[in-house]
Amino acid sequence: MDSKTLQALAVTALEDGKAHDIKVIDVRGRTSIADYMVLATGTSDRHCKSLADRVVDASKESGLRPLGVEGTEGGEWILVDLYDVLVHVMQPRVRDFYNLEKLWDVVAQRRGKTDGTD
């Protein structure tokens, strides 16, 4: 499955779980660890865990086992590694504190790109 299809699958799973503020960041050409980062906010640790489970279940149903899942113990920030797509599910205060959107905007600006294209 290509990374674009995989990120769409993750977004659909998050939308179905009522995730808030879903954002897809195209990081192709900026890092070798992934093509896309999908960020989503859950309302509580239980909601974040449920959202991450939905992403994992959707990927398994499509025949792709996640490479790993981290952070389910606390539920404040859960990372689902889908190879070329990294899904971050965070509680609002954690997402505000780490502000990954701004971090990747800075990376793009330093490379002279602000629209996420190659």
CA distance 40 to 14: 7
pLDDT in tens, 80-99: 999 999 999 999 999 999 99
pLDDT attached to residue 12: 98
CATH of domain 3-105: 3.30.460.10
pLDDT attached to residue 113: 53
Q: How much is the pTM?
A: 0.88
More confident residue, 101 or 71: 71
Mean predicted confidence (pLDDT) in 56-74: 96
pLDDT in tens, 4-48: 999 999 999 999 999 999 999 999 988 899 999 999 999 999 999
Full DSSP string of 3-56:
HHHHHHHHHHHHHHTT-EEEEEEE-TTT-SS-SEEEEEE-SSHHHHHHHHHHHH
pLDDT attached to residue 104: 79
pLDDT attached to residue 105: 73
